[in-house]
Structure 1
Amino acid sequence: MTAHGASREALAAARERLDALTDSTSVDAAQLAEELAAVTALLDREVSLRRVLTDPAQAGEAKAELAQRLIGGQVGGPTADLVSGTVRSRWSRSRDLVDALEELADTADITAAQQAGALDDVEDELFRFGRIVSSSTELRAALTDRRATTSAKSELLRSLLGGRANATTERLVTRLVTAPRGRSLEAGLESLSKLAADRRNRMVAVVTSAVPLSDAQKQRLGGVLAKLYGRQMHLNLDVDPAVLGGIRVQVGDEVINGSLADRIEDAGRRMAG
């Protein structure tokens, strides 16, 4: 999420509290994610409640105590403590609190995958699922149909991902599809991929080539990009024969074109000019 003012500081503090919790071997990160997602859904529905919990006129301790009373018996101690600490902070907008809790839930699930040694799989599966959705108008329409019930969408995703993808991937995508909270499916998947990369302080590069890259090429490209951007780089690899040769690399909003097709197009533009 993009936070401003007081919410930026509150979000940074919430992220630190989550890291401290998930660093403990006694905390089940997957359970924490599930419970945080439930609290997110509650506050997303109950507008008046989230306004009370983010009211700047109320003392932070009073808001924390209210949160403990409301959810203390419904979730585990780590979740209740994390939510209480989060509402104790000052938020610029009530919606920022819900956005933050949603991010914490997703990050906790991604942390669970990291602890299980499955983060690479989750990153790749999120990327592949995004590619499948973008290439199928019918599937995208089914997953974003506002008339479809939550159970129908969940069942569709279960048929697509169940047994084929990591359980964390299935949970993340199901939450996104059934509770998009105003986000497009593409934006939500991109956000999840970024969270997964940030978890290991890596950036994501989408690499499109005419033919699959060899292991040596992938290693060399990853090293070059890491030096260029000063951070470890995770490569999401895609094959597109239309590239004609070379590669196309996108890191965030920046595109590095090295494909033959792009060079032909540039030459044509120069000739036309």
Structure 2
Amino acid sequence: MGSATTQALAASAAVLDKQRVGAATARDLFAAARAVAGSPQLSGALADRTTAPDARAALVGAVFGKLSAGARNVVTAVVSQRWSDTTDLVDALEELAIRAAAKAEKTADLSGELFGVSRVIASNPELELALGSTLGDPAAKVALVEKLLSGRVSDATLLIVSELVRELRGRRLRGLLNHVIRVVAAQADRTVATVTTARPLTDEQADRLTASLARRYGGQIALNQIIDADVVGGIRVQIADDIIDGSISSRLTDLRQRLAG
């Protein structure tokens, strides 16, 4: 991500944070992202640095006049920024839609729900192919997501996953879900920690680990667990690019490498 895009995304997110948003705002922002992604002419015009910001804002009003006021304000903020690449503008609209969905959902653990969805997909190659294929009908993918998730996750998670499979734009679904989990956690001022163990942590163990990670990294921690018998014992924790590996399997591998050396 270029420095211009980093600054533009931060400024646009600040505008979103000032809006009163609901599920309709998120849906409108997803619709705007689809429209811009689907039209090279529109995306080029909205990202054109040689055009005055006021002119780009006027184009938003003409094209997206039926959007809710909050969504239109966010789209206007996005096109007023300078982006490193046209694709970054589309990605930003999608990320802001995800953030709006997370902001509108006050009670559900969205990062936990999305993590659960990613694990189900990871464990089912046929499902991953059905949802992640570039050849699949978007409407059929959305219908499959609704069939699998309706009544099992929050409306916000259902909306996010449905929109992701509708508009993959060449991206791998599991990798995209991992990114979205971090976005949702960040919107709630949390840091995602993925913990891999041979057996599920008890509530007390999870609380102690969460508190320890919070002291180390600062802020709140969203803890996601993966059960993997190959870990043997101990735990492996990943936060962004940091890996804390205290598993027995890792120690045995290290020992074998030392002996071989």
Flag structure 1 segments of 5+ consecutive residues without an equivalent: 22-26
Measure the CA separation in 2 of the matches of 1:133 and 1:266.
Answer: 32
Residue 199 of structure 1 aligns with which residue? 187
Can you list the C-alpha shifts for 1:99-131, whole angstroms capped at 9, x where unaligned? 111111010001112x2x11x2x2112111111
Verify: 1:126 aligned to 2:114, yes or no: yes
After TM superposition, the structure 1 = structure 2 runs for residues 109-120 of structure 1, keeping only pairs within 5 Å, are 109-113=101-105, 115=106, 117-118=107-108, 120=109
Measure the CA separation in 1 of the matches of 2:53 and 2:155.
Answer: 37
Measure the CA separation in 2 of the matches of 1:8 and 1:255.
Answer: 25
Measure the CA separation in 1 of the matches of 2:3 and 2:258.
Answer: 46
The one-letter amino acid paired with 2:47 is T
Verify: 1:102 aligned to 2:94, yes or no: yes
Aligned pair in 2 of structure 1 residues 267, 90: CA closer, same or farther (>3 Å)?
Answer: closer
**Contact 2:21/2:100 (<8 A) preserved:** no
Alignment coverage as a number of residue pairs:
261
The one-letter amino acid paired with 2:254 is D
Verify: 1:55 aligned to 2:48, yes or no: yes
Residue 9 of structure 2 aligns with which residue? 11
Verify: 1:75 aligned to 2:63, yes or no: no
Measure the CA separation in 1 of the matches of 2:120 and 2:27.
Answer: 26
The alignment's TM-score, normalised by the length of structure 1, stands at 0.90
Measure the CA separation in 2 of the matches of 1:234 and 1:212.
Answer: 16
Measure the CA separation in 1 of the matches of 2:138 and 2:202.
Answer: 42
Cα deviation for residue 6 of structure 1 reads: 2.9
Verify: 1:34 aligned to 2:24, yes or no: no
Measure the CA separation in 2 of the matches of 1:240 and 1:89.
Answer: 44
Q: Secondary structure at the match of 2:84?
A: coil
The alignment's TM-score, normalised by the length of structure 2, stands at 0.94
Q: 2:239 aligns with which of 234, 238, 251?
A: 251
The one-letter amino acid paired with 1:139 is L
After TM superposition, the structure 1 = structure 2 runs for residues 211-226 of structure 1, keeping only pairs within 5 Å, are 211-226=199-214
Measure the CA separation in 2 of the matches of 1:230 and 1:204.
Answer: 12
The one-letter amino acid paired with 2:144 is L
Tell me how large the CA RMSD over aligned residues is. 1.5
Cα deviation for residue 146 of structure 1 reads: 2.2
The one-letter amino acid paired with 2:81 is S
Can you list the C-alpha shifts for 1:118-150, whole angstroms capped at 9, x where unaligned? 1x2x21121111112122221111112222211
